[in-house]
Structures are given as C-alpha cells and as structure tokens.
Chains A and B, each alone.
Chain A
Amino acid sequence: MIQYLQNNSDTVLAALRQHLYLALVPVLLGFVIALPIGYLGVRFEWLYHPLVNVCGVLYSIPSLALFVFLPVVLGTKILSPLNIVVALTIYTVALLARTVADGLRSVDKLVNEAATAMGYRRTRRLIDVELPVALPVILAGLRVATVANISLVSVGALIGIGGLGQLFTRGFQLFYVEPIIVGIVLSVLLAAVADLVIVLIQRAVTPWARA
C-alpha cells in the first residue's frame, strides 16, 4: 500500500485535486443559484409545492444518465469535466433550493412581523433577518449537498472523469486492490473533512443557535 502511494503520489494527488474541484465548484454554484430560487418559493406561496416536486424529480435522475445525457444537451465533449460540474450543480440546486425555502419558512412569523413593524423594507429584512435566522437550516442542507457531491463525483469515473473514482476503475481494470482502497479511504476522508469544515463554519456564524 505504502509502496503504491510512493510510486503513484502524483496520480493520487491529481485525482484528489480533481475530485475536490468537481465536488466543490458545483456546491458553490448550486448554492448561489438555489438562494434566489428558494426565496421565490417562499415569496410566492403557490410556487412552493411545484418547487418541491421539481426538486424531487431532478434529484431522482440517475447520475450516470445525466453524465451521459448532458453532452448531448450542452454540446460539450463527453470527456469534458464541465458535464460533471453541470450535473452536480443541478443536484445541488435541487437539494438546496428546497432547503433555502424551508429555512426561510422556518423563520418565526412573529420575528418577520416585528421586523416589518420596525421599519425594515423587504430586501433588507431578507438580508438582515430572514437569511441569518434561516442559516442553521440552510447550512444543514449544505452539508448534505457537499457530502452527496463528494460521493457522486466517483460515478463520473465510468465516463472517464471522476477524481478519486478513477482509482477504482483503474484498480478494477488491473485487478489491483491498492488503488481501490486508497480511493475509498480518501473519498470518505474528504467527505468527513468537508463536513467538519461546514460544521465549524456553522458554529462560528450562528453562535446564537446554541444559546
């Protein structure tokens, strides 16, 4: 095992780097896109249920199908990392749009009412009051989306771009167990570390939630 790591450190590191990139860029993009969508689902109440349904359907599309289907829609090459990024962004949006909506809906009606009565206009109320109060719910969703993305990236290996997942495919092809074990351990570790980082951020930005 050590031997394998010593001999292939460049390959493993490159796979790790790609894995991180492919998992986290969609989280950021998805978060930015999900915020306004989730907000609309609260601002216009009739939109909430359609939003939840569409998100559910999107999330239920098998990832491999999406990876294969996207190049057709986007006109990208089948081996372009963009396919993975777009696919995972779609999943992230599907998860987070609902979470953002649920988070904003979780804000006590009295709190919103008090804010309005004190002279907040809608936009400032959203930024100063609603989003901060919804943050624990939103960050919990972000944790799920991040961990899900990290595990989904590996599936991309089946179409040739999959970060640590490529260590699995290589191991299978060569009947060689070491890269498979390294791949598994590293992706689990990556997910655990990413989760921990978000938990720490959550603690730092919502000290009141533990009060």
Chain B
Amino acid sequence: MITFEDVVKIYPGGGTAVDHLSMELPTGKMTVLVGPSGCGKTTSLRMINRMVEPTSGRVLIDGQDVSGQDEALLRRGIGYVIQHAGLFPHRTVLDNVATVPMLLGKTRREARTASLELLERVGLPAEFAQRYPAQLSGGQQQRVGVARALAADPPVMLMDEPFSAVDPVVRAQLHTEFLRLQQDLGKTIAMVTHDIDEAIKLGDYVAVLRQGGILAQFGTPQELLDKPADDFVASFVGRDRGLRSLSFDSAADVPVSPPATAEQLVLDNGRPVVWRTLSGDRAIAGTFTKDDSLRIVTDLAISSPVGIAVRVDADGVCDGVVKHHDLVDYLLTRRSA
C-alpha cells in the first residue's frame, strides 16, 4: 500500500504543485492519477520514489516512510516506466531489461536469463534481444520499458504516461496486454495519465486531481462515472459518462423475453440469422451473452433495426431477447435503486 499523508509540494518560486494530498493506493491494485496538466499528478508520482521531495507531509510504502530510505536502494525496489520508454540507446534490448538486476548485484548471465523470459512475457520475440532501442517501433520500445521495470520483480511500479507516445491502435493493444500481465502479477501500481478514458479502462482505482494539486475524487472508475464528486469531475469524466458507466454493469440480470416474442427474428436451429423487416432482411449487428456488459446490450438494442438485442448461450443458440422499452425500464429502476 502506498500512502500519501497530507503531502504538500511547493516549488521555489511559489507554485503549489500538490496541495494537502492524502490518499491510499491499495496493495496489488492499479491506481491511476489523472487530471489536466498542472494538477500535480507527475509530481505526486515522483514523490513515491523520491525523485521529488515533499515540502511537508509523508509518503509511505507499506507503512515505511520513504524519506528515511536510501534513494538508490529505494528506487531499485520500485519499477519505473516513462513516456517514450527512456531506454538506454547504447544497450541492447536484453541489457536494457537486465539493468536493475545488474544494479542489484546479479551476474550478467543471471540477469540476462531472467530478462529473456521477461521479454517473452511482454510479447517480444527472442530475436529482439540483441537489437538496439533505435531499431524498435514505439510500441516495442514501450514493451521493453515495461519489461525493464519488471525485471527485478518489484512489488511497486510507477508509470508516467507509459502509453501516450504510441498510436491509438497500438495503445489499445498495449492496454489489453498490460491488463493481462497485471492480472498475473498483482503489482501495486501508480500510473499517471491525462487521458480519462485510459484511467477508466486500466484503473482499479482512479484519483482525479485538479489544477493546483487538489484531489477532486478518489474512487473506482464506476464511482467516478456514477457519482462524480463535483462539476469538475463530472466534466472531466465526460458527457457520455452515463453510457460508459454501463460497461461496468453485468448483463446477467437484464430482463429477457422468449425468442418467439420477437416476430422479426429469423432463427435457424435456434441460432439467430437475420431481421425480417418490412423493408427487407437486415443483418443482425451482433449478440450478447450473460458475461457481457449492459453497455453492449444497450448498443445492440439501439443499433438493431427493430430495437431488440439478442442474447445467446455458450453454443450460440438464442435463449432470449431484450426489447428496448424493457431495457430502458430496467436501466431506470437500476439507477433509482
């Protein structure tokens, strides 16, 4: 657990970067610090590994005040990923990853063996090991950056805009991979981003900071979407937060009608085939299962020519339909509950 206790950072020259910040980043979870530029998110992150010293207040990792610890030793125990990866251009990919194990006194061979496994783990084939950073694409460099941060298996990781320098397609891919990795590893992660969508997608918890380094809200992504603490959070989270919040709700309990009640739905051996409408046959845009989110159901209902979302079981057989008015009623009762 990373604890901020009434932390203040005032830069010489008068600017308050962080203003009486108190929060707890739970162990094994990913907490995303998000906010506009000048909100002190990076400053806060850097106080965890003492790249920045607080003016007052304390930062603790598992109850230990970081200010009492040797800077270099503290940092070797904390993974660090930055924008553009910040790889060492003069070292091969493998030796980049082996950096911290080498600093910790491992032999070159031990460090390299462990690093090779890590490369595979972050989705880089072994033939990349001997390349130099300049020979990699942005996305590949970022993967190496993540591998390098993980190399000494630190319990805590800090990530400063780790995915913002790559194009949206690669970013989405890195997100997915990183979430899978984190599911296996369960690191305590503090990540900084200016992108609220990224924060909501990746964070177990999100800390929204506002200009002047004030914590506006700390909570799960869904809490942010459903109950923004104030207008600032509400506008920062965005106008379609109601719809986005639905991605955190399960479709398991949405009321379904028997398939037969949807006269326009053509089935073949129970499998949905096509919508038969007055203006001809229309393709079915998609189906959902009990494991999907309410956002998917809503999307299917509004993109269907007849306002109906089709549910299937594991075998692809239609076991129910959701009609748009039932869905709206359900969403309304859910909201008021």
Cβ of A72 to closest chain B Cβ, rounded Å = 45
Cβ contact within 8 Å between B89 and A208: yes
| A-B interface contact total, Cβ < 8 Å | 67
Contact with A along B46-62 (1 / 0, CB 8 A): 00010100000000000
Cβ of A103 to closest chain B Cβ, rounded Å = 12
A211 within 8 A of B: yes
- The dominant DSSP class at the A interface is helix
Residues of A within 8 A of B86 (CB): 108, 110-111, 113-114
Q: How many residues of B contact A (CB 8 A)?
A: 31
Residues of B within 8 A of A120 (CB): 72, 103
Most buried by B among A111, A121, A206: A111
Pick the interface stretch among B76-84, B110-118, B242-250.
B76-84
A114 and B322 CA atoms in complex are apart in Å by 52
Residues of B within 8 A of A110 (CB): 82-84, 86
Known A119-B103, A120-B103, A208-B132; judge A114-B87 contact (CB<8 A).
yes
Q: Which residue of A lies closest to B84 (CB)?
A: A110
Q: Which residue of B lies closest to A207 (CB)?
A: B132
Cβ contact within 8 Å between B51 and A117: yes
B241 within 8 A of A: no
Most buried by A among B85, B88, B92: B88
Residues of B within 8 A of A133 (CB): 88-90
Known A117-B51, A118-B100, A119-B100; judge A111-B89 contact (CB<8 A).
yes
Those 5 A-B pairs whose CB atoms lie nearest each other, nearest first: A114-B86, A119-B76, A211-B132, A119-B75, A117-B80
Residues of B that sit less than 8 Å from A by CB: 49, 51, 72-78, 80, 82-92, 99-100, 103, 131-135, 148, 158
Residues of A that sit less than 8 Å from B by CB: 108, 110-111, 113-121, 129, 132-133, 135, 206-208, 211
